[in-house]
C-alpha cells in the first residue's frame, strides 16, 4: 500500500508540472495584484531562443534597458497594438532608443517557433527581438514577471491565449523599474522612456 502511494505521489509530481506549464500556475487576478501593487519582486533570469534560433538569456541584455512584452503572434488585437506602440515610441526616441532593447516573449511556444517569430517581429520594429523556448522555459519566464497566460479552446483544435499585457521596464543593471499598462499610447511611452535614456 505504501509503495502504491509512493508511486502515485511520484506520478503526480512528474505529471502535474507538465500540465501546469501550458499556463500560469496562479490566477489572473492574483498575478495582476502582484504586478499592479508591486507586492512581489518582479523579473528574474530567463533562458530562451531568439527569432534567429540563437540561445539568449537575460544576461545578454545587461547594459541595455529592457522593454519586455509577453504575448503571442496569433493575438488578434491587443498584442499587435501594444507592439506597434512600442515600435512607434522607439522611432520617436530616435538615437536614444539604442539604449533600449525591446523584447517580445511568446506565451504560445507551440505555434510561435523562431521561424514564425522571424516573420512577425520585424513588422513592429527592426530591433524587436522575439523570444521563444520550450513550455517549461516560457512558463518560468512568465512566472518571474508575474505574467498571466492560459490557453482557451476555440472551435476544433484551435485555441487562443488569454494573457496579461503589461509592458515591463527593466534597468540596464537588470533591476525591475516598473510597468506600462496595456494600451499605453506611443507618445506617452516616448515621454516616459525619455527620462531613462537621457544622457
Binding range to Ni ion, per CB under 5 A, among 55-63, 70-78, 117-125, 180-188: 70-78
- Minimal distance in Å, beta carbon 6 to Ni ion? 42
Count CB-CB contacts under 10 A for residue 61: 18
- Minimal distance in Å, beta carbon 11 to Ni ion? 35
Choice from 35, 42, 43, 71 touching Ni ion (CB under 5 A): 71
Phi, psi torsion values for 169, nearest 5 degrees: -115, 125
Binding mask of the shown chain, residues 24 to 43, with x at each position contacting Ni ion by CB under 5 A? --------------------
Binding mask of the shown chain, residues 75 to 104, with x at each position contacting Ni ion by CB under 5 A? x--xx-------------------------
What HEC string does 99-115 produce?
Answer: HEEEEEEECCCCCCCHH
Site for Ni ion in 140-199 (CB under 5 A): none
- Separation CA 114–CA 52 (nearest Å): 6
- As given in the structure block, the three cell numbers for residue 74 are 496569433
Q: Quick check: 137 binds Ni ion (CB under 5 A)? A: no
Q: Which of 88, 62, 72 is nearest to 138 (CA)?
A: 72
- Separation CA 160–CA 83 (nearest Å): 18
Q: Which residues bind Ni ion (CB under 5 A)?
A: 71, 75, 78-79
Amino acid at each position: 500500500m505504501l509503495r502504491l502511494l509512493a508511486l502515485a505521489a511520484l506520478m503526480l509530481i512528474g505529471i502535474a508540472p507538465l500540465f501546469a506549464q501550458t499556463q500560469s500556475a496562479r490566477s489572473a487576478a492574483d498575478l495582476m495584484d502582484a504586478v499592479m501593487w508591486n507586492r512581489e519582486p518582479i523579473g528574474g533570469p530567463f533562458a530562451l531562443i531568439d527569432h534567429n534560433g540563437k540561445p539568449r538569456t537575460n544576461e545578454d541584455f545587461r547594459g541595455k534597458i529592457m522593454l519586455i512584452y509577453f504575448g503571442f503572434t496569433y493575438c488578434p488585437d491587443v498584442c499587435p497594438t501594444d507592439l506597434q506602440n512600442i515600435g512607434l515610441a522607439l522611432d520617436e526616441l530616435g538615437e536614444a532608443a539604442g539604449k533600449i532593447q525591446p523584447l517580445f516573449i511568446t506565451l504560445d511556444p507551440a505555434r510561435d517557433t523562431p521561424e514564425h517569430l522571424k516573420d512577425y517581429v520585424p513588422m513592429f520594429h527592426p530591433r524587436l527581438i522575439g523570444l521563444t523556448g520550450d513550455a517549461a522555459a516560457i512558463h518560468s519566464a512568465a512566472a518571474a514577471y508575474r505574467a498571466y497566460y492560459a490557453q482557451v479552446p476555440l472551435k476544433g483544435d484551435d485555441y487562443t491565449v488569454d494573457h496579461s499585457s503589461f509592458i515591463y521596464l527593466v534597468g540596464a543593471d537588470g533591476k525591475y523599474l516598473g510597468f506600462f499598462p496595456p494600451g499605453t499610447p506611443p507618445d506617452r511611452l516616448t515621454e516616459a522612456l525619455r527620462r531613462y535614456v537621457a544622457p
